[in-house]
Amino acid sequence: MMRNRKVKWVLWGAVLSLLTFYPKLVGPYFTNVFVHFAIFALYAVSFNLLLGYTGLFSFGHAMYFGTGGFATALALVHIKGCPLVMALFMGFLASVILALVLCPIVSRVSGTAFAMLHLAFSMLIYTLALKLRKITNGEDGVSGFPIPALHIPGVVSFDMRDSTNFYYFAVVVIGLSVWTLWFLTKTPFGQILVSIRDNAKRVAYMGFKVPQTKAVIYAISAGFAGIAGAVLALFQDVITPDHALGPGTSFQVILITMVGGVGSFLGPIWGSAIFTVLQEFTSRYIKEVELLMGAILILVMLYFPKGFAGVWALIERKVFGESPSKRVAEGGRSSQ
């Protein structure tokens, strides 16, 4: 046991060291590729919190991703001298507020009704973003907004237009966000989510308020999707309805999560890595990388029902000796 723990600490140390020196090792281009991967990893992890841990399948998670991006961009356009952290928080807050507005409706349904309601609401938000040109600039979106420097009062100021500085900012924000969601899944509240996924009626009989619990996790999931969208807006200095709110962005996160592994916390991160690699190395040959991801999803569902995270878990159990039952108890979905 002690040996396994030491090996894990060594691995984490290696990962942190790699993240620290990554920009110097690979240069600006692949530094930006990593930031793009990390943004969609957080987006997918927030989605998996609904699907994998609570059993709530959504066809419209992009509305929170895009709302966060637009809120951050509009804050920087209209609030003079808006600090970077405040702009980021505005993205989080806007997505949470939208989730709380929809909660009274969506928290009382599940299954197909939940999925289709989100498809409808997502298309409504997408259409509004296209039509409200005075606010969102329509199809062109919001662009050219100032990216404020990150100030540590009395110490230092970091120019966020520098790709290396933005990389470290994104790694810290996304890393803390992913860690927060991971920590949440390990709490008693996280175990209640898994119980709701497996048998909501039993949880209700035990005295827990299932709709209210769904509402809380729904707002949390939306908020962190909003953070991912906010970082994307800052990263690209532009946010458009098609890229951030369109139905393709909702289906993209479904593909990423399912290929990576639904119900496994690391699954969406694996999925985002696979999607990013495919996008980089096949984009010159295939215009729509989602088609290739769809083909991979079919193969994964046929031969690896738990996704690539399931393959990794199998390897990890052989190396570290962890039991399959432990992983399932911690929130991983067993194959159906």
Question: Of 234, 301, 290, which is closest to residue 73 (Cα–Cα)?
Answer: 234
Coil/strand/helix, residue 152: strand
Rounded CA-CA distance 185/197 in Å is 13
Looking up tokens 């909702």 gives: 250
Q: What is the pLDDT of residue 2?
A: 57
Tokens of residue 290, six digits: 């989602």
Rounded CA-CA distance 303/310 in Å is 11
Rounded to an integer, what is the distance from CA 202 to the centroid of its chain?
Answer: 29
Burial of 222 (0-12, 13-18, 19+ CB in 10 A): buried
* Residues 255 and 290 sit within 8 Å (Cβ to Cβ): yes
Tens-level pLDDT at each residue, the chain (336 residues): 556 677 777 888 888 899 999 999 998 999 999 999 999 999 999 999 999 888 889 999 999 999 999 999 999 999 988 999 999 999 999 999 999 999 888 877 878 888 999 999 999 999 999 999 999 999 999 998 889 888 777 677 888 888 899 999 999 999 999 999 999 999 888 888 888 887 778 888 888 887 788 888 999 999 999 999 999 999 999 999 999 999 989 999 999 999 888 888 889 999 999 889 888 887 777 767 777 777 887 887 787 778 888 777 777 777 666 544 344 444 444 433
Instruction: Please state the pTM of the whole predicted model.
Output: 0.88
The total number of residues shown for the chain amounts to: 336
Rounded CA-CA distance 106/280 in Å is 37
**CATH assignment, 2-19+30-329:** 1.10.3470
Rounded CA-CA distance 77/245 in Å is 19
Rounded CA-CA distance 53/315 in Å is 23
φ, ψ (nearest 5 deg) of residue 219: -65, -40
Tokens of residue 98, six digits: 């939208």
| Positive/negative CA dihedral, 253, 193, 231, 138 | positive
